[in-house]
């Protein structure tokens, strides 16, 4: 067991957060230090253009608990979180925003759940202190994502969470480039639980997500966890084809028995519908292949093992089995 490693690391991405840093540092320290000296705060400066880089360096000069990662330019919120996860050393790792929308004071509750044996404790936003349009957008997004993705990503849970070291290792080792962290966190599994909290308004400064950036995040999330939009093309093609067939039948009946439709209209509309459906179905077929290529390129593992217990006969001697059990229980004790 690595006793020199901190019990908890808190990863905070920061982009132009100069007016929040001292308050953030103060409140984080206030929340973490009562739990013991074994903690680390990882500030990731995501290419800030304001005083953020200088302020975090100055804070680190006076506080041995601070780890600072400066990115070479602004890479964005999700990449900044990935950078923080890569550098955090703790046996558990929290991720939170740097604008104090995620209150540091709830961290002990996350840690308590982790000590109970949960590998992932994710925060569920019960209330948001944001504009009505933004709230509505989030509401629709999370429900849509849940409806069409292959995973059950918990509703209204953002990136604010605690993860056990082994979960962090699995996420770090996924070869995927475009990382939608809250989706991957659901993907990896293990014992997960939600924790309600009240999301407050931003403390100072302005939100870095404008409308188009939020839409971008939403599209990334949907596209990397769902291939349903591709399927939709196929369904659309099939629907059009069905309508074309139905209409053709009706037109024939009409031409032979009633002749109400003007001449030429029938052949025209049938050709249009028929060609339309052929094109849509062809696109859908191409889409199916693209979907497979897309899934393959992600190289997500087919499964992730939580625990493995080989048969005692395979080990040759029974003593190693008891050894295994002993080390498993020591892990629980040290938590
Ligand atoms: N952030 C970042 N890089 C970016 C944009 C945002 O590191 O390119 C950080 C930002 O400093 C904050 C967190 O990500 O700590 C969440 O951003 P923000 O509060 O602007 O998003 P919102 O809460 O409005 O969704
Ligand atoms: Mg915010």
pLDDT tens across 95-123, in order? 999 988 889 999 999 999 999 999 999 99
Query: What's the mean pLDDT in 249-275?
Result: 77
Between CA 115 and CA 335 the distance in angstroms is 6
Judged against a pLDDT cut of 50, whether residue 213 lies above it is answered with: yes
Between CA 319 and CA 329 the distance in angstroms is 16
Between CA 320 and CA 302 the distance in angstroms is 29
How remote is the C-alpha of 20 from its chain's centroid?
Answer: 25
Between CA 17 and CA 80 the distance in angstroms is 14
Ligand 1 contact via 75 beta carbon (within 6 Å): no
Residue 39 φ/ψ, nearest 5 degrees:
-145, 160
pLDDT of residue 237: 84
Helix (H) or strand (E) holding 67: strand 66-70
pLDDT of residue 331: 41
82, 46 in Cβ contact below 8 A? no
Quote the tokens at residue 45: 């400066």
Quote the tokens at residue 300: 């997500």
pLDDT of residue 319: 54
Between CA 151 and CA 148 the distance in angstroms is 9
Helices (H), the chain: 21-32, 52-62, 77-87, 107-115, 132-148, 165-173, 181-188, 211-225, 228-253, 265-298, 312-315, 319-334
Query: What's the mean pLDDT in 206-232?
Result: 79
pLDDT of residue 106: 92
CB neighbour list of residue 119: distance below 8 Å, 6 or more residues apart: 163, 164, 166, 167, 190, 191, 192
Query: What's the mean pLDDT in 263-269?
Result: 75
Other CB atoms within a 10 A radius of the CB of residue 113 amount to: 18
Q: Going by CA atoms, what residue is nearest to atom 14 of ligand 1?
A: 77
Query: What's the mean pLDDT in 219-231?
Result: 79
pLDDT of residue 65: 93
pLDDT of residue 277: 82
Ligand 1 contact via 207 beta carbon (within 6 Å): yes
Where is average pLDDT lowest: 6-10, 149-153, 157-161?
149-153
Query: What's the mean pLDDT in 142-167?
Result: 83
pLDDT of residue 318: 56
195, 123 in Cβ contact below 8 A? yes
CB neighbour list of residue 250: distance below 8 Å, 6 or more residues apart: none
β-pairing verdict for 157-164 and 192-199: unpaired
pLDDT of residue 222: 80
Of the residues 82, 141, 208, which should be mutated to test ligand 1's pocket, given the most ligand atoms within 8 Å of the CB?
208
Name residue 196's beta-bridge partners: 124
Question: How many angstroms separate the alpha carbon of residue 288 from the centre of ligand 2?
Answer: 37
Other CB atoms within a 10 A radius of the CB of residue 311 amount to: 7
Query: What's the mean pLDDT in 16-45?
Result: 92
Which of 51-65, 188-202, 255-269 holds the top average pLDDT?
Answer: 51-65
43, 68 in Cβ contact below 8 A? yes
Higher per-residue confidence, 243 vs 317: 243
Ligand 1 contact via 192 beta carbon (within 6 Å): no
Judged against a pLDDT cut of 60, whether residue 175 lies above it is answered with: yes
* Nearest atom of ligand 1 to the alpha carbon of 13: 7
How remote is the C-alpha of 163 from its chain's centroid?
Answer: 13
Ligand 1 contact via 208 beta carbon (within 6 Å): yes
- Nearest-CA neighbor of 97 among 77, 111, 79, 114? 77
Other CB atoms within a 10 A radius of the CB of residue 82 amount to: 22
- pTM as predicted: 0.71
Query: What's the mean pLDDT in 287-305?
Result: 80
End-to-end CA distance of the chain: 11
Of all residues in the chain, the percent with pLDDT exceeding 90 is 35
Ligand 1 contact via 84 beta carbon (within 6 Å): no
Judged against a pLDDT cut of 60, whether residue 291 lies above it is answered with: yes
Question: How many angstroms separate the alpha carbon of residue 260 from the centre of ligand 2?
Answer: 63
Total residues belonging to the chain: 335
66, 60 in Cβ contact below 8 A? yes
Judged against a pLDDT cut of 60, whether residue 328 lies above it is answered with: no
CB neighbour list of residue 273: distance below 8 Å, 6 or more residues apart: 240, 243, 244, 247
Judged against a pLDDT cut of 50, whether residue 325 lies above it is answered with: no
Question: How many angstroms separate the alpha carbon of residue 101 from the centre of ligand 2?
Answer: 6
Higher per-residue confidence, 105 vs 259: 105
Judged against a pLDDT cut of 80, whether residue 88 lies above it is answered with: yes
Helix (H) or strand (E) holding 10: strand 8-14
């Amino acid at each position: 067991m690595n006793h020199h490693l901190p019990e908890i690391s808190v990863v905070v991405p920061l982009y132009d957060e100069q007016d929040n840093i001292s308050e953030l540092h103060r409140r984080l320290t206030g929340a973490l230090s009562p739990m013991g000296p074994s903690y680390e705060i990882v500030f990731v400066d995501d290419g800030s253009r304001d005083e953020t880089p200088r302020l975090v360096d100055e804070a680190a000069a006076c506080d041995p608990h601070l780890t600072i990662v400066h990115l070479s330019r602004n890479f964005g919120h999700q990449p900044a979180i990935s950078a923080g996860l890569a550098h955090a050393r703790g046996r558990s790792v929290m991720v939170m925003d740097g604008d104090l929308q995620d209150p540091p004071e709830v961290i002990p509750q996350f840690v308590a759940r982790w000590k109970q044996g949960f590998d992932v404790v994710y925060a569920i936003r019960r209330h948001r202190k944001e504009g009505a349009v933004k709230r509505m957008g989030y509401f629709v997004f999370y429900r849509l994502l849940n409806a069409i993705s292959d995973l059950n990503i918990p509703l209204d849970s953002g990136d604010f969470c605690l993860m056990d070291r082994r979960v962090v290792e699995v996420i770090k080792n996924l070869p995927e480039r475009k990382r939608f962290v809250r989706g991957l966190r659901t993907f990896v599994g293990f014992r997960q639980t939600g924790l309600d909290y009240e999301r407050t308004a931003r403390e100072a400064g302005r939100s870095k997500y404008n409308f188009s950036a939020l839409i971008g995040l939403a599209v990334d999330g949907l596209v990397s966890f769902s291939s349903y939009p591709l399927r939709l093309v196929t369904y659309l093609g099939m629907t059009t084809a069905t309508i074309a067939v139905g209409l053709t039948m009706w037109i024939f009946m009409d031409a032979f028995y009633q002749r109400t439709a003007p001449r030429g209209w029938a052949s025209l509309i049938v050709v249009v519908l028929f060609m339309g459906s052929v094109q849509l179905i062809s696109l859908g077929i191409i889409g199916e292949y693209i979907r497979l290529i897309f899934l393959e390129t992600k190289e997500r593992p087919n499964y992730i093992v939580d625990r493995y217990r080989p048969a005692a006969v395979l080990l040759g001697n029974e003593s190693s089995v008891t050894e295994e059990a002993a080390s498993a229980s020591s892990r629980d004790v040290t938590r």
